[in-house]
Each structure stands twice: as structure tokens, then as C-alpha cells.
Amino acid sequence: MFASPWAVPPTSELAISVQRYVAHYQTLLYLNHGYRFFAPDPGPASIVGFTIVRADGSQWTGIFPDRNAINRDYPRLNYHRWFMWSETLGRLFGEWVSPDVFAGYLEMEKKRAADLRQQGLALEADRLLADLEEDRRVWEESEDARRRILAPVARVLLQRHQGTEIRLTLNRRMIPSLSETRAGMRPSDPRLLEPDRAFELGRWVWDDSTEMLKFVEPSPPVQSAPSIEEIPIQNERAPNE
């Protein structure tokens, strides 16, 4: 179990020699994983925060993964699933572009294409517009994926906390430096969060009349109504039941 991660480059000749000696046993027992123990240079962690509004107007706030919830999310595999959820969301949406920002990008690039056409560079303008259409397609696909991926998370949290509305945000927790660690800073120190990078992933409202979650766009474009998407919950009871 130790030799395989130890032998992941960059490493020493000793580690490689030991790994070669036990390679056949590792393969047979399916232990040849290069986890590297999340070291020597682990990156920042993704933290998903949520605020839940209940039917009586009270609020519940929390985060996941939450070390304080390990006992609640027993067995530990459940806690690990929440941990992997946050990392997956951070990987997929860490560079998410809101609709209003994307609309501004499209408008700016269309003006640039119009300027190129006025300069007699019609071919370059057509290429730019084609690239913009491809950007639009990719962005719309990512938006659809964002809603489909986040909807089950919102549903489970609403049911767990008997809520009627939920707001999900994504943040990043940095790793303390060596000097900060020597000074006594712990990895859970709130100063390691990056509030400037936090942004809203989405908001969902439970509709009792239709027994569906309504997705509310977190950052609607200017002079535009919020985009609402109804997501049915099949074979599920209402969160407040």
C-alpha cells in the first residue's frame, strides 16, 4: 500500500526499486494506485456552502464537506461522497461564467466583428462570429450540466433539513503555508477561505402545488426576467412532509 504511491515521480531510485520488487503482488491485489497521499503539493479545497429557508421562515446554514458531520454521515463513505461532490463541483464550475458576464462577452465580440467587417476584413469577421457560435454552444451545454448536476444536491439537502428554499455557493479554501502552520494556523482556519472567489451556484425553491423544484438563475442578465426551470422529483416526498 505504501510502495506504489511512494514510487510516483518525482521520486527516488530507492522508491522505484522497492516498487519493482512488489509490483507483481500489487497488481494481483489491485494495490497499484498512485494516490501519492495527496502530497507533496496538495491544491486548494472546494467548499460548497448552503443556506436553507424553512417553511416557518427560519434559516439553516452549512457547508460540505463538513468535518463536524463525520459522525452524522456514518459510515465514513457517506462523508467521502460529500467530499467528492464538493471537489467535482469545484472542478466543473470553479471558472463558471454567469449569464450576464457571458452576454457582455458576446456583445463585445460582436462589436469587434462589426469593426472588422467595416475594415474590409469580412473573412476574419465571419471566423470570429463562427467562434462565437461555438462558444455559445459550449456555454449553453455547461449551463444545462450545471443545473442537472446541482439539482440532486439541492433536493437531498432540502429533504435533510426540511427546507423550502436553498441557495448554493462555491468557495475555495487555501492550504496554509509552512510559516502559517508553524505559527499555529490550522487547515480549518476561516482566514484561509477566499471570499472574493465565492459565487452563487444556484437557488432552488420548492413548489408544494407541483411538487417540483424551481431553479432560479443566480445572476440574471440585465433587463431580463430570472430564468426558471422546473425539475421534477420523481417518487420523492416534499421536503417539508
Q: What are the domain boundaries of the chain?
A: 44-171+202-232
Residue type, 68: N
Q: Is the pLDDT of residue 232 over 50?
A: no
Q: Is the pLDDT of residue 136 over 80?
A: yes
DSSP E strands, the chain: 45-54, 59-64, 163-173, 199-207, 212-216, 228-232
- DSSP 8-state assignment for residue 75: S
Cell reading at 9: 515521480
pLDDT tens-digit series, residues 46-97 = 888 899 999 888 888 888 887 776 666 666 677 778 888 888 888 777 666 7
What global pTM score does this model have? 0.60
Q: Is the pLDDT of residue 155 over 80?
A: yes
pLDDT at 218: 59
Listed ranges 41-45, 72-76, 172-176, 215-219; the one with the highest mean pLDDT: 172-176
pLDDT tens-digit series, residues 195-215 = 666 778 888 888 777 778 887
Overall residue count recorded for the chain in this entry: 241
Task: Compute the mean pLDDT over every residue in the chain, rounded to the nearest whole number.
Answer: 77
Confidence category of residue 22, pLDDT binned at 50, 70, 90: confident
Q: Is the pLDDT of residue 238 over 80?
A: no
